[in-house]
Every structure is written in structure tokens, then in C-alpha cells.
Chains A and B, each alone.
Chain A
Amino acid sequence: MIYYFIAILIFVIGLYGLLVKRNLFKIIIALIIMEYANFLLFALIGFRKEGTAPIQPIVGGKVFVDPLPQALVLTAIVIGLGTTALIVALAVRIYEKYGTLDIRKIKKLKG
């Protein structure tokens, strides 16, 4: 049970970083922390105590770990890679245009 709370804690740390950091790359790192906390939680949900790898038949009352979350987390990591690559590319182009990484100075738009 404690592991679940640790995963949620990491998620909240990412959210906190997203809210207070002013540097573009620190914001990106906070986003990544949030994403990976999510993946960790998903993988933990599939975990069974003393479970075996789900590739061989069960012998003598042993249990499998749940293979579904593992497959899904793999997919989600690939999606995460795509979003991270895009947002880093955006940050690099923003640095070329504005000459700064501080979001307080990047404000041509008044949202």
C-alpha cells in the first residue's frame, strides 16, 4: 500500500514543480516526473506478491503478476517520448526567438 502513496507523492511533486518553476526546461522535467509517476503507479497495480513472470504455466498455487499494465505502460512510455521530444524542440525554438528560458520574460501573448 505504501508504494501506491509514494507513486502519488511523486505525481504531486511533479505537479508542484510545474506550478512554481520558471525555467522552460524545469517545467518540462516536472511534466516528465508527473508522467513517470503515473507509469510507476500503473505498473505497481499489476504487481502481485510473490508472483511469477506471466510467461510460463502456473505450478503449485503460485500467481502471475498482471501482464496487462506492463504492456500498457510500455505503450504509454513511447507516447511520453513523443510528447517530450516535441516539447523540447519547442523550447529550443523559443530560446532561439526570445534568447531566454525564463517564462516571465516570454510574454508576447496576453492570455
Chain B
Amino acid sequence: MDWIIPIFVVIPLGLAFILPIIGKNRRVGDVLTNLATLALLCFAIYSIKFAKSTIVYKLGNWQPVKGIPIGIYMVLDGLSIFMLVTVNLVAFMCTLYSINYMEKFTDKTRYYTLFLLMLAGMNGVILTGDFFNLFVFLEIAAIASYALVAFGTEAEELEAAFKYQVMGSIGSAFILLGITLLYSYTGTLNMADVSRVLITKGVSKLVIFVSVLFIVGFGLKSAIMPFHMWLPDAHPSAPAPISAMLSGVLIKTLGIYALVRVFFNVIGTNPVILNTIIVLSIISMVLGILLAMVQRDLKRLLAYSSISHVGLILLGVGLGTPLGMLGGLFHLLNHAVFKSLLFLNSGAIVYSAGTRDLDNMGGLRNNMPVTADTSLVASMAISGIPPFNGFWSKLLIIFACVEAGRPWLAVFAIVASIVTIGVFMKLQKQAFFGESKVDISKIKEVPGFMVFAMIVLAILCVVLGLILLPKLRPIFLNPVVDILKNGLEYSVRVLR
């Protein structure tokens, strides 16, 4: 069954190079890109079948010599499948949305090329089992995202992209330095092999230094609080579907997934690392949402709320208990869905009303009913109102805090949650309800594909809570928790 693994990288990477040659007509780009992302989503859903097993694909069929792996491994296990489904779901919705939204930009073909490169990089990061390969895919995704942030080439966008690239390059440099030092200590780059060597050789001061480098590097990529400065500029500056991809999945793939994989499966966790993650996550959770409260720009508000939710996800994972990991990773999926929906809503407002400033909006509910309703659903999901998916994951994280014997952490989560309700009530009131100060009689609902993408995501917001049911949980969520719970068995499962 290992043929399925390279497909996730080959389809987007191959199409990214073919598209500039054959994509002179912009309809060709629309059709091919959407078919590619739809195919990737189907493959990702099909791969759920293998969630309980670990499948290894050896690039170029280089077999291990005397049990020591040579060549590059790609690994498909429960955690990878979970991330693949999340990433490719959001990617498909964003390409559907782009068909109409990107019409006003001049070069749609290059946009799709960069989009597919970013997707190839993210799928690669999720599937790789090799440290240097991780770095290469991480850079592919990051470079494509720098270029996409600057895609409008206005003054603000260029400034944001420059800032983003400087911060991102520092993160990459720290990650590469960490990989270099880890190679000097273990003499191998295969993640499973590194883990095995670290178990036999023991942890030295060098490995602790490497852990710090990785926390800083992946922390910069995932924008947890002391390393967040680029995010509130970069995410609003990008075109709306790209904001949805960046906030919805990129920071989670390059940041949280890589951090979790490296610490839980390779280096191994200890209370010091977990507590560091928890402290950082508490800071970003509370301060992120407080900063969101004072924003006047719709997309900046959403960007700051992303920082807060990254903190919430890392709080769940950092508790280190099975329930906490379940809550954290489930919240990762939920946040990808409702935050990308909110960014698509903001894009719809920009498309029709032409403004991002909350002061110049109001009363859009009558003109844009679908946007208003889907945005209301997403706002209720993100604030944790009961039947929606956000409620269940927040509840799990809060229960996990209490179960782990640290109820004061739950207090922070509840406070952040309450402030979130306030922030999104303000958003709803100023954008969709109330009276407008400017003439809005000419504003119309957005075109068909944009509406369709938003409705699908809104339906997912309602039904995703169902995958916590005891019948459905063993299929999708339990394998993920097993991967993290039995962290260091990763090397045994891969090298077998």
C-alpha cells in the first residue's frame, strides 16, 4: 500500500511545474488546480483506512543496510493522516473559492503555481521521516508563502512579506542549526534512527540545546507569543484564500505538527519541555485574544485570534495526557475549519464591499445573507457555543486540564474563551447587524463558487463534533492519540 504516499507530493509538485507551461488560458488553471486538490482530498480520506498501521515508503527503494536506514523514508501513520485530511480539505475549499475571488488579480496562473508549491511543501512536511527532507519541504512551503503574501505587490503587502520572510528565515536557520547539531551527535538524519540512537546513547547537554533551537525555530513558524510579530501583518496582507491557508493550516503544519512530531516521537518529551510549551501557550492564548479585542481591521482581528488558538492547541498537547492530546489535536482540526471560513468571509466582504475596516461596515446582513449566516456559524463555533465543533474541543481541553491536576490552567482557557465570545460578538455586530454609515445599497452577494466553499465549511462546523462519538472516534482520532501516547515506539514501528 505504499504507492499512496508519494502521490500527496507528486500531484501538487508536478502540476506546479506543468501549469506555467500550459496554463496560458486562466480556465485551464482553474480546472486543473481544483481537480488536483479534489484528488488529494479523496486520497487523504481514502488513507483513513490505514490509520491504525504505519506504512513506510523508501524513496528510490534504498533498502536498509544491516538494519541502518539509508536513503529517505516517508512515513504514513495516524498523525500524518489526520494532518493530511485537514490540510487537503482546507486547500480544496480555498481553490474553489479562488476561482471567483482571484479574478481581480492579474496573474492567476502564477498564483495557482505558488499555491500548489505551498501545498506540496506542507504535504511533504507531514509525510517525511527524515530531518533534512523535513527542512527542504519546510522551506518549499515557506518560500511559496512569502511570495503569496506579497502577491498583491502593494506597499503594505511588500512590507509584510519582507518582515515575514526575515522572521521565517531566522526560524529556518535555527531549525537547520538544530538538525546539524543533532546529526553531529547521532550520525544519522532518519527520524526513527535518530530516536533509536538517542535511546541507546542517552540525552546529553547538546540534545537539550537542540531542543531549545527547535522550540524557537518551530515556535517562529507557528507564531506562539514571543515569536508572533510577523503574523498580524502577514496574514491580513495576503489574498483571502491564502490568509485562510496560512492561518488555517500552514502555521499548524510547519509549526505545531513539526514540533509535536519532533518532541513526542523523536527526541522524547520531559516535564521541562512540556512546561515550557504550556507557559508559552498560556501567554499567547490570553494576550493574543486581548490584542484581538482592540483591532479595527477585520483580518487583523482574525489573525490575532489565530495566535490565541494556537496557544489553546499547544496547551492541550503540552499537558501530555491522552485526553489533552485528543482535545488539542481535535481543536487543531476545528480551528482549521472555522478560521479558514472566517477568513473566506472577510474575503467576501472585501470582494463586495471593498473594505476591511470594521468602522465602515454594518448592516451587511440584508445584502449578503449567505456570508452573514456562515460567518455567524463560524463565530459561534470559534467562541464555543454548544452544538458547534469548537465547543467540544474546548471542553475536552478544559477537562484535560482538570484531570491532569492543574485546574488553574483551565481558568486561563476559560478566560480566553469568554473574551473570544466578546470579540466575535463585536465582529458580528459591527459587520453584519446594525446600521451602516456609508451607502451599501449596491453591495451584492458574492458569486457561486465562493458561496459554495463557505457553505461547505459552515456545514463542517456543525457536524464535525460528531466524530467524537464512540462509534466514530476509533476510526480517526484514537490512532492519532496512540501515536503520541506511545511516542518513542515510533522508531520501532518505522524501522521494523
Contact = CB atoms under 8 A, between A and B. Distances in A.
Contact of B159 (A18, A38, A68, A106): A106
Given A38-B180, A41-B177, A83-B139, A68 B189 contact: yes
Contact of A94 (B159, B170, B173, B176): B159
A34 B166 CA distance: 12
Interface in B108-148: 132, 135-136, 139, 143, 146-147
B143 A108 contact: no
Interface in B169-186: 169-170, 172-173, 176-177, 180, 183-184
A86 interface: yes
B180 A31 contact: no
A90 B162 contact: yes
Contacts of A16: none
Given A83-B139, A90-B150, A111-B232, A98 B155 contact: yes
Contacts, number: 91
A55 interface: no
A41 B177 CA distance: 8
A108 B155 contact: yes
A33 to B, nearest CB: 10
Given A34-B173, A86-B143, A111-B233, A97 B165 contact: no
B156 to A, nearest CB: 5
**Dominant SS at the A interface?**
helix
B338 to A, nearest CB: 25
B89 interface: no
Nearest to A75: B136
B97 interface: no
Nearest to B131: A72
Contacts of A82: 139, 143
A107 B158 CA distance: 11
**Dominant SS at the B interface?**
helix
Interface of A: 11, 14-15, 18, 24, 27, 31, 34-35, 38, 41-42, 45, 68-69, 72, 75-76, 79, 82-83, 86-87, 90-91, 93-94, 97-98, 106-109, 111
27 contacts: A11-B177, A14-B173, A24-B162, A27-B166, A35-B173, A38-B176, A42-B180, A45-B183, A72-B189, A75-B132, A76-B176, A79-B136, A82-B139, A82-B143, A83-B143, A87-B146, A90-B161, A91-B162, A93-B150, A93-B158, A94-B158, A94-B159, A97-B154, A98-B155, A108-B155, A109-B163, A111-B230
Given A107-B159, A111-B230, 9 more contacts: A34-B169, A38-B176, A41-B180, A42-B176, A90-B161, A93-B150, A94-B155, A94-B158, A109-B233
